[in-house]
Amino acid sequence: MSELPPVRVHHPHVEVRDDLLAGSPVVRGSRVPVRRLWAWHRRGVTVETLVKRYPSLGPARVLGALSFAYDNQELVEADLAREQALLDKEEAAEKVPGSMEQTRLPFDPSKK
């Protein structure tokens, strides 16, 4: 697994531990990765919605995680890329050559 860039600015509500989620930054006292909150936030999800989605975190820790992400964008983006690479690797491993998996074709119902 690739190594992540170092933390540039530390925040009290975020911790990075080698023994927790392979060193991904997480909200302190939870297993919620900062990358997950950051990804939702970048898509326009509000802090209020994130707090509803993760009520155990509360607003201070959600805001702290987002603040960490803004101060450490290189690290959080690298963590997102690492997660995507792992997902792609799993997806590729699930495809077995010669299997009877149906090929997905584009379908336009207006063309008959």
78-95 pLDDT, tens per residue?
999 999 988 888 777 766
Confidence of residue 1 (pLDDT cuts 50, 70, 90): low
- State residue 97's pLDDT score: 60
Beta bridge partners of 66: none
State pTM to two decimals: 0.78
Give, as one character, the DSSP assignment of residue 33.
Answer: B
Domains annotated on the chain, with CATH: 14-83 (1.10.10.10)
| Distances in whole angstroms, Cα of residue 44 to Cα of each of 24, 33, 39, 79, 98 | 22, 18, 9, 20, 41
